[in-house]
Amino acid sequence: MRNLVPSAIKISTLEPTYNEHTSDSASSNAQESIVAAAYDVDRGLIFTASEDAQFGVRIWRTPVDPCEWNAPVLCGSFISVDSKVLSLRVIGESAQLILVTRSGDTVSWQLDDLGELISGPDIVGSVDSGILAVEWSPDDTLLVMITGEENLILMTSTFDVLSEAPLHTEDFGEDAPINVGWGAKETQFHGSIGRAHLKPSAQSSNRIQEDPHDDGLPRVSWRGDGAYFVVSSLARQTPQSDNVKGRALRVYSNEARLQSTAEIVAGLEPSLSWRPSGNLIASTQKEIRAGPSDTQRTGKHGIIFFERNGLPHGGFNLRGDDRDYRIKHLAWSSDSNVLAVHIERTQGDVVQLWTTGNYHWYLKQEILAPLSTHFTSITWHPEVSMRLLLTSPLQIIQQDYAWETCAGANSTGCVGVIDGQKILLTPFRMQNIPPPMSSHQLLANTPTDADASSGGLFLSQVPPHISLSQSHDLLAAVWQQGHVMVWALQTRITPGGGAAMNPILIWSANLPGELCRCRQVLVSSGNDDNEHRTISAVILGSDVSGNDRIVIYDFEHVILPLKSISATRTRSISLQQKNGRLVPHEVPEHLAWQAPDGSIFQVHREEESYSQICSFTEHCPSSQRVDAQLFVGLSAGGKVYATIPNAESTLLASNVNSFTVASGFVIFTTTSHDVQFAPLESVVATLASGQENGMLSPTGDENKSGGLASQAWEKRRVERGSRIVTGVPSTMSLVLQMPRGNLETINPRPMVMKVVKTDLDAGLWRKAFMACRKHRIDLSIIVEHNQQVFMAGIPAFVEQIEDVDYINLFLTSVGRSQLPAEVVADVCDSVRQDLEDRNLTKYVNSILTAYVVKSPPDHEAGLALLLRLRGVSSSLVEEAVKYIIFLVDADRLFDTALGMYDFSLVLMVAQHAQKDPREYLPFLRELRALPQYYQRFKIDDHLKRRAKALRSLSLAGPEYFQEALDYLDTYQLHDEALAIWQGTDKYMDVLGIYGAWLFDRHEYHQAATVFVEASDARRAMVSYERALEWQELFELCLKDQLDGDEITEIAYRIADELFSKKRFSESARVLLDYAKDVRQAVNSLAQGNEFAEARRIVTLHARPELMDQLLLPCALDCRAQIGDDINEMREQLRKQIARLTELRIKKVEEPDAFYNLDDPTLHNVDVMTDVSMAPTTFTRYTVAPSATSKASKRSSKTKRKMERKLGSGRKGTVDEEEYILKSVTKLVERCATTRGEIKKLLPHLLQLSQIHREEGVALQVEFDRLQSELREAIEDIWKKPDEPAPLDSWAIRMQEKAKEQLVEPLQRVPKPEMSTSEWSLKLLQQKLA
């Protein structure tokens, strides 16, 4: 539903001054006529060829830039006997301009970089019989010629002949259909009519009348990919086909091999054009009066399409009643979207632009020849799809077009589509009519005299541009000749029958004569009061020089009743630039004009002036002004920009194909097939904050962060190629059009949420609720939007919603939402309380819902409500029970009722849940026979409420105490039991069971505490002994007054356990204090390198013999053990340094093997061998397909095993170096521990004896050497290697890139630090010296 609107125009006129060789330049200029044109894409130029009886063929040049209206420059000429030009083409590869004439000459000129002809005309070839038709392939590599002898010649761009063959042949082609001998009409059953109708009638004749307007010349057209071309020629008369005089289409390959031949179609005309996309071959057909009825057409002319196999494929009729015209030429745009039809008429030629959608052809534009002359050629730009080049005898006209959606006010969602003289209108707020249908077809009747001063006829019936008001229900249309009309549409926005709209023409005017080539109109309105409205119609056109001119009409009209009022004021503003665009706006004061470079100017209506306020980065054919500040535009390259006055423009996205502004969002669809919603507030805030050229939405490589991120914008996937038609905020809908033309209306979440939040802020709870319900929005948003306001407005909410089912739906949605449990409980309780206050019986189901959806649900309260209502209405309770069973699982509800100890409620739930009585009645009878508390115990135990069951059992009586102890021990209810029996005579029994349970779990400390509390000293002492808490143990032993032998026995047991745990000091303390065994105590201390404490005890207890018997040998043993540790550490260090050196040498000498890089000599080498084995296609680059599946099936145990294997550092693996580094780090830690042991031992080695002193000296030397060696190794290992000089080669750079992906082990393992604390003895150092 887009319109093709003019965006730029360029006109270059031949000047008489170029006719220098004649005195009568005016008469010579009248004879000269431009007949051909060609684009030079590389140099941005247009070359044209003109024919002149005196000067032959002359070549002209003009730039492509639409803003340069200079006269063409004469750059060359060629004189021939027959100066009829057939083709003009610029060959970019060879930088040549090629001209082909009817007389058979092929002329070339060489071009320089500026487009100058640097050589004279060179005749590269000539055909004696002349040339009837010629056509270049789209890539300029092949040339098709049809000579005067009707031979088809295929040549290269260097004019080498590839093929030459006669044009006319009886052969169908290579794609001739195959007849399998069945399915013919003669073999079919024809009913009662029989086969008589198959015989040719004597009255009927297949003679096809010859078209008198057919020039008899062939036509050639190429497919867009250059694989095929088609030739249209008059069929040669033969004895077998003397009655056939029509045209035939023949399709050839790019090797000039005939592929297919179409059947001769009655009335087929010479015009021919193959759609670049390749699916259709377009031609024209004229009405044939003679012949059978099935060959007649209703219109004078029509476009007919053929497939590549020659079969017809539909078409459409041209519009209009003028019979005195013929179709001269057809041309497709380079993107295959627009078909240009050149119609030759006596009162002046016209070019019609047709587009298709949903299998309907729309007439979008009519281009009239200037001064009622004729067009001599039409050509589309090969790269700029919407650029059309036309030539008249004296002018070169270049028209640029753009696609535009004419969407109106958001209140109606009206969209207008141009289709010839009709404007198709559809208000999407009320109706969604699929195109080509519409809600209303407005026939734009134009006056017969557009301008009294010109006295000419109003030739064009197609308005080049229409506009709908952004704020009111108004439509304006402008015609190229200078006429404008404004309608009040009177769209019906209320439901009901009748017409969707009733347009009334309220104003029309002929534009001033100085305004020509009108191409855009905008209509806006301001609300003055309820009866009068000021309407502003702004028309953009050009003056004689091509500069833009704006004409503004302001007039008033009475709203009710509608009546036309003449214009009250006219303003005209001349601009000093060409080919700008008006920016659509809502109110007249926001009128702005966009220059071709993207600059935006504010138009001051009163002063009739303009001033620049901001600019886009590039020109945006589609733009919109939002309020007074924000401008949003879409460039031809698919980039959406936003800007505000006095700020740089910001790129929103760079892959956009359509956009609109609605509901507070910039909504745009992308080529990634999604629709995105950028909030206007965020965009304006980012622009105002001073962000310059910030990328709000990262696209491609332009991933720059601005004030927003596209991840914060909501997105929605849409069908491939979808475009926005309009957005209707009132219905929360967005209308999209698919590539094939059909429409789809969606309700995006952002648009829905915008309306919902507005309604919530206004207190329209029901409207917001219904919108969320209709569009499947989580109803918890009503609470989340503003929780405090909602909690305060619950009475109004309930009053507006009122319906029980709606309230149930709301409560259920809140209960299932992600709201915190406390919020859900507060909402449910507040709504439930309000419902109970209003009408308990009416809202009983909603109240039950409030109980159930809470987290956790309160089923008991809901069942208690049923008990309250049981005496009010039995039928109400019955329905309520059914409802709550619907909400909650029946078994769960049965258990809840059972847990309330009300058997009548249990029976009621069971009956309505349709439970089998054989399942629950015996159980209930059994329970009824039990005492009250024991009955409750059985019920709680059945429901697995263990703590509650234990409490009920405790209330059942002392005779059940033993059962209670067994019950608590079975289900480990010790904490609950302690709370129940605390302060009773049964408390100690409970503590005993609790302590035994802890002891069995090896929690000896906790068990000892419990046994002490239970006054069970024996079991407490056992627990303390198991926990090795010897202080508490011996305290308890002394309090319990155990005899000495028993205490000594306990002391030896505890000391042995402590000694085995290497708690030597504690073991010695126990032996000394409680076993009175000095010898064993000293031995424990000596074994633990606690010689200072051992010597103190020996001296304290006067046991000098222990010095020789224990301390001296133990000191030597300790020194020997430390020496072994030093030797082990030294040996480990040396082995690891040697291996690490080996690895690093390999890293330097064989980097490819070390880093597992590809060997370039093995490229394209297959691992397959020629031995006899099962074939395989695995190469060195192939990854086994089962690796992923196997990895996904690994168990956790296998994964842990793999992790251990990866960290094992096995020799030859990739992590061996890292493993060695970590091992060295651990060696440093072990060395620090050994240092502490040596520090404690050295003073005693110095003092005990001379032998010990010598051992101390040796130990100090050994450890000092180990430390030095370890310190040097660390510095050498963690030293960064010298960087070699970089080599500049591709292979080296690729290898370095691969190495960067591997993290060096030195970066993963931090360098360990050696401690510098003092540990040695000065005396031993002196002794060593």
Helix 903-912 vs helix 874-887: crossing angle, to nearest 10: 70
Cα separation values, 552 from 569, 604, 607, Å: 8, 11, 12
Q: List pLDDT tens digits, range 881-902.
A: 888 888 888 788 888 888 888 8
Predicted local confidence at residue 1161, as pLDDT: 47
At residue 310, the 3 state secondary structure works out as: coil
Band (pLDDT 50/70/90 cuts) for residue 1196 is low
Cβ atoms within 10 A of the Cβ of 1251, count?
A: 12
The mean pLDDT value for 1199-1219 works out to: 62
1122-1157 per-residue burial string, b: 16 or more CB within 10 A, e: under 16: beebbeebbeebeebbeebeeeeeeeeeeeeebeee
> What residue ranges in 14-71 does DSSP mark as E strands?
33-40, 45-52, 56-63
pLDDT, position 448: 46
Q: CA-CA distance, 338 to 352, in Å (whole number)?
A: 10
The secondary structure of residue 908, as a DSSP letter, is H
Is the model's pLDDT at 621 over the cut of 90? yes
> Before 270, cis peptide (omega within 30)?
no
CA–CA separation, 1087 and 1107 (whole Å): 14
More confident residue, 96 or 319: 96
What's the pLDDT score for residue 1090?
81
List all residues 6 or more positions away from 460 whose beta carbon is below 8 Å from its beta carbon.
Answer: 350, 366, 368, 479, 480, 481
Q: 491: which DSSP letter?
A: B
How much is the pLDDT for 447?
Answer: 57
Per-residue HEC secondary structure of 84-129 comes to: CEEEEEEECCCCEEEEEECCCEEEEEEECCCCCECCCCEEEEECCC
Six token digits for residue 1054: 């505890």
> Are 944 and 927 within 8 A, CB to CB?
no
User: How far, in Å, CA of 365 to CA of 342, rounded?
Assistant: 12
pLDDT of residue 855: 83
Q: How far is CA 691 from CA 72, 632, 707, in A?
A: 45, 16, 7
| Residue 535: closest CA among 522, 549, 519 | 522
Alpha carbon of 272 to those of 282, 1052, 1176, 1297: distances in Å?
6, 117, 56, 57
pLDDT score, position 1256:
82
Q: What are the pLDDT digits (tens) for 804-841? A: 999 999 999 999 999 999 999 999 999 999 999 998 88
Report d(CA 1323, CA 123) in Å as an integer.
114
DSSP state of 562: T
Residues constituting the chain: 1329
Q: pLDDT per residue over 478-530, tens digit each? A: 998 889 999 999 898 888 778 889 999 988 888 888 888 899 999 998 866 66
Please tell me the distance from the alpha carbon of residue 1081 to that of residue 1039, in angstroms, as a whole number.
Answer: 25
Residue 498 vs residue 356, higher pLDDT:
356
| Residue given tokens 């060096």 in the structure block | 1304
pLDDT value at position 53? Answer: 75
The Cα–Cα gap between 230 and 173 comes to: 13
Residue range 1077-1104: mean pLDDT, rounded:
84
Q: Which of 186-200, 749-763, 1159-1173 has the highest mean pLDDT?
A: 749-763
Q: Which residue's entry shows tokens 């115990």?
A: 937
The DSSP code sequence of 1010-1029 is HHHHTT-HHHHHHHHHHHT-
Alpha-carbon distance of 906 to 908, in angstroms, equals 5
Q: Are 801 and 792 in contact (CB under 8 A)?
A: no
* pLDDT of res. 254: 92
Contacts of residue 250, defined as CB under 8 A and 6 or more positions apart, other chains included, come to 167, 173, 230, 231, 233, 258, 260, 261, 262
pTM of the model: 0.74
Q: Is the pLDDT of residue 548 over 80?
A: yes
Task: Return the higher-pLDDT residue of 515 and 1315.
Answer: 515
pLDDT for res 202: 45
C-alpha span between 275 and 315 (Å, rounded): 13
Residue 467 pairs with which residues in a beta bridge? 476
Edge to edge, the sheet with strand 96-101 lists 85-91, 96-101, 105-110, 122-126
pLDDT band at 697 (very low <50, low <70, confident <90, very high): very low
* Cα–Cα distance, 600 to 590 (Å, whole number): 12
Cα separation of 244 and 257, whole Å?
Answer: 25
Q: Is the pLDDT of residue 291 over 90?
A: no
Which residues are bridge partners to 177 per DSSP? none
Tell me which residue of 812, 928, 929, 804 sits closest to 876, measured CA to CA: 804
Distance CA 7, CA 619 (A): 11
Angstrom distance (rounded) from CA 634 to CA 654:
9
Q: In sequence order, what are the beta bridge partners of 539?
A: 521, 551
Instruction: Identify the helix (H) or strand (E) that includes residue 894.
Output: helix 890-899
E strand or H helix that includes residue 827: helix 821-838
Name residue, tokens 């006829």.
457
Long-range own/partner contacts, residues 898-905 (CB < 8 A, 24 or more apart): 898/939, 898/942, 898/943, 899/860, 899/939, 899/940, 899/943, 899/945, 900/860, 900/863, 900/864, 901/935, 901/936, 901/939, 902/867, 903/927, 903/928, 905/863, 905/866, 905/867
741 DSSP assignment:
S
